Amino acid sequence: MRAETISKVGLGIQRYGLVLFLGLWGLAKFTPGEATAIQPLVAHSPFLSWLYPAFGLRGASAIFGVFEVATAILIGTRRWFPRASAYGSFASAGMFLITLSFLVTTPDVFAPSSPWGGFLMKDLVFFGAAVFTGGEALGAVVFEPKRVHGVVVA
């Protein structure tokens, strides 16, 4: 019983830690300082660098911000909408995979003077948290059998 309680507390910390992290960092993406700060990472990404010519520095950062805040909100709905929470967690897991790719696409990311290596490596933990919370939320979804005219069909 005690281990189960500790696990539930840990899961709550993990889930709502993700919500807090994504929400705060997402809101920061709307500031000029954060938009400029992430530029070296995004500019070298084969997945995201196209956003700068299309939307500009602040526009691309705002897109990231909207995505991060939206996933935070979705993850936070676990109690009422576990399926939506699972989708939010899995979407953030995809985002963390992309940010982890910066470890190989950003020049000199592990140089002693670079602030990026350690900063990005934390996303491995966030990736695991997102996958775990997504799986837990998906497991809480009640799957109703499909019915046609009141008859259960396979």
Listed by start position, the domains of the chain span: 2-152
Kindly state the average pLDDT of the residues 36-58: 97
Per-residue pLDDT reduced to its tens digit, 119-133: 999 999 999 999 999
Residue 74 DSSP label: H
pTM, two decimals, is: 0.90
Per-residue pLDDT reduced to its tens digit, 48-83: 999 999 999 999 999 999 999 999 999 999 999 999
pLDDT of residue 104: 96
pLDDT of residue 27: 98
Q: Can you tell me the distance from the alpha carbon of 144 to that of 126, in angstroms, rounded to the nearest whole number?
A: 31
Q: In the chain, pLDDT over 90 holds for what percent of residues?
A: 90
Q: Whose CA is closest to 130, among 80, 77, 84, 91?
A: 91
pLDDT of residue 91: 98
Token pair for residue 58? 């602040």
Per-residue pLDDT reduced to its tens digit, 108-118: 999 999 999 98
In the chain, which residue ranges form alpha helices assigned H by DSSP? 2-28, 32-37, 39-43, 51-76, 82-105, 116-139
Kindly state the average pLDDT of the residues 21-36: 98
Q: What is the mean pLDDT of the chain?
A: 95
Q: Is residue 154 very low, low, confident or very high in pLDDT (cuts 50, 70, 90)?
A: low
3-state secondary structure of 49: coil
